[in-house]
Amino acid sequence: MDSSFQKISEGIDVQPLLNKLKSFPLLWGEITARQQTPGSAHAHTRAIFLRWAKELSIHATFNDLKAVNYPALKVLEDEAVPLVDKIFLEVEGIELGRVLIVDLLPFGVIQAHADEGAYADKFERFHLSMASDEGNEFFVQTTPEVGEFVHMKAGQLWWFDHKKTHWLINDSEHARTHLIVDVVAPKYRREREAWVTQ
């Protein structure tokens, strides 16, 4: 296997969580550090923190290996937890890390970056697409000369190599919404490490 992306499954019912989010719009504004930190690649996003490091600091973001539940998880528990559990089982996880719901705003971009630090080294990253119009492209740079991209359609679960440089474009009139779940998943770690040595 030589791709930096892997589609794991599709047809996942994300509508209950999308519906619940409409009833709690203020959740999007509770924590804004991710998009407001100077130099952040995520300035055109908004996020709901379901699980994260205990402290909202740069040091903890990169280095804290433990994740704790945030109050928003309790609000969205009935709809979000079954999806997180499904992902954890499907990827044969052994430890659950951080969980976010992230909107990439209309005509927004996530700037090129690679995830760094002890936390990114430990966990694999999985994206469950919840809403994504045509015009959403997710890029990963595979070599200095070559990259690849996919459109993660609603209801699809994907793994990608977040240790490689990646960026995203939402060239549409609607927000792109993803549930992002970090998991210690040795199956995917072995695959990623194998690709690096090829």
DSSP state for residue 42 in the 8-state scheme:
T
Overall number of domains in the chain: 1
pLDDT band at 193 (very low <50, low <70, confident <90, very high): low
**pTM for this predicted structure:** 0.92
Distant-in-sequence, close-in-space partners of 82: CB < 8 Å, separation ≥ 6: none
Q: Among 10-14, 139-143, 179-183, whose mean pLDDT is lowest?
A: 139-143
Helix (H, G, I), strand (E, B) or coil at 196: helix
List, in sequence order, every residue forming a beta bridge with 178; answer none if it has no partner. 102, 129
Long-range contacts of 48-51 (CB under 8 A, 24+ apart): 48/21, 48/72, 48/76, 48/100, 48/101, 48/102, 49/100, 50/76, 50/80, 50/84, 50/99, 50/100, 50/101, 51/96, 51/97, 51/98, 51/99
For residues 64-79, average pLDDT? 98
pLDDT at 198 over 60: no
Q: Confirm if 168 and 139 have CB atoms less than 8 A apart.
A: yes
What CATH number does residue 192 fall under?
A: 2.60.120.330
Q: What span, in angstroms and rounded, lies between the C-alpha atoms of 19 and 112? A: 31
pLDDT band at 2 (very low <50, low <70, confident <90, very high): low
Q: What span, in angstroms and rounded, lies between the C-alpha atoms of 108 and 168? A: 8
Q: Which domain holds residue 33?
A: 5-197
pLDDT value at residue 53 = 97
Q: What span, in angstroms and rounded, lies between the C-alpha atoms of 139 and 157? A: 16
pLDDT at 79 over 50: yes
pLDDT at 7 over 70: yes
